[in-house]
Amino acid sequence: MSSKVIRVKEICRNIIAVGRNYAEHAKELGNPVPQGNPLIFGKPVSSIITEGSIEIPQGWKELHHEVELGVVIGKSGKFIQEEQAMDHVLGYVLVLDMTARNIQDQLKKQGHPWFLAKGFDTSCPISNFICKSAVKDVNNLNLQLTVNGVLKQNGNTQDMIFKIPNLLSYISKYFKLEYGDLILTGTPSGVSAVKHGDVIEAKLDDLVQMKYPVIEHGN
Ligand SMILES: O=C(O)/C=C/C(=O)CC(=O)C(=O)O
Ligand SMILES: [Mg+2]
Q: What is the pLDDT of residues 113-129, one digit of tens each?
A: 999 999 999 999 999 99
Q: Is 8-216 a CATH 3.90.850.10 domain?
A: yes
Q: Residue type at 117? A: A
- Give the C-alpha separation, 4 to 175, whole Å: 27
Segment 176-190 mean pLDDT:
98
Q: In the chain, what is the straight-line distance between the N-terminal and C-terminal CA atoms, in Å?
A: 43
Ligand 2 center–CA 218 separation, angstroms: 27
Q: Where are the domains of the chain?
A: 8-216
- Please state the atom number of ligand 1 nearest to the C-alpha of residue 99: 7
- Residues in contact with ligand 1 by the CB-under-6-Å rule are 17, 19-21, 25, 29, 31, 66, 97, 99, 104, 186-187
Check whether 13 has a pLDDT greater than 60.
Answer: yes
Please tell me whether the overall predicted TM-score, pTM, comes out greater than 0.80 for this model: yes
Segment 91-96 mean pLDDT:
98
Quick: pLDDT tens for 137-162. 999 999 999 999 999 999 999 999 99
By most ligand atoms within 8 Å of CB, the mutation choice from 18, 99, 192 for ligand 1 is: 99
